[in-house]
Structure 1
């Protein structure tokens, strides 16, 4: 069970990294790409938090909250993957020489 706290910590650090990277870039397409990547990290954080909390408390309330977190985190991860794929392809289309 040590893997979930590690994933939670890494995903929060990467979320903050991508949010700061958004502020440093001026290109709108790159900002949207970094926002999609940060959405993936946020989704992983929520997803792993939902999975990790049930073994800690083992109650029905914890189970219901964990299910909600897993669903919301999964939706964030899926949407982030779709957005990052779209913006990566769009960047390749606009910059064929790179």
Structure 2
């Protein structure tokens, strides 16, 4: 159990960086906004798992408080990112019915 959260933290931050670099490489605005939504989701997963990991590592009241704040912020980022990515994915499909 102690190794799962650090692995998720590393994977999510790597994916966040990947999507941010992908935004710079594309010229299509819809694709950029889709990648930005995915990046927000990855950032949210990073913050969420970081908050859980910090509480599990320290197990103090202050780490619990900080962990709860991180979980709330991370959860909001995850939800927002998935909604944005879903919206722009559907927009791309609507504008490109053949692809």
TM range (shorter): over 0.9
Q: Report the equivalent of 1:88.
A: 89
Supply the RMSD in Å over aligned alpha carbons.
0.5
Report the secondary structure of 2:98's partner residue: coil
Q: Deviations over 1:31-68 (max 9, x none)?
A: 00000000000000000000010121111110000000
Match of 1:69 in 2: 70
Aligned partner of 1:56 in structure 2 is: 57
Aligned length: 98
Q: How much has 1:9 moved relative to structure 2?
A: 0.3
Q: Distance in 1 between matches of 2:56 and 2:10?
A: 18
Q: Distance in 2 between matches of 1:67 and 1:7?
A: 18
| Secondary structure in 2 matching 1:68 | helix
Segments ≥4 residues shifted beyond 4 Å: none
CA–CA distance in structure 1, aligned partners of residues 38 and 83 of structure 2: 10
TM-score (normalised: structure 2): 0.97
**Structure 1 Cα separation of the partners of residues 14 and 47 of structure 2:** 14
Query: Structure 2 stretches of 5 or more lacking a match?
Result: none
Return 5+ residue gaps in structure 1 as ranges: none
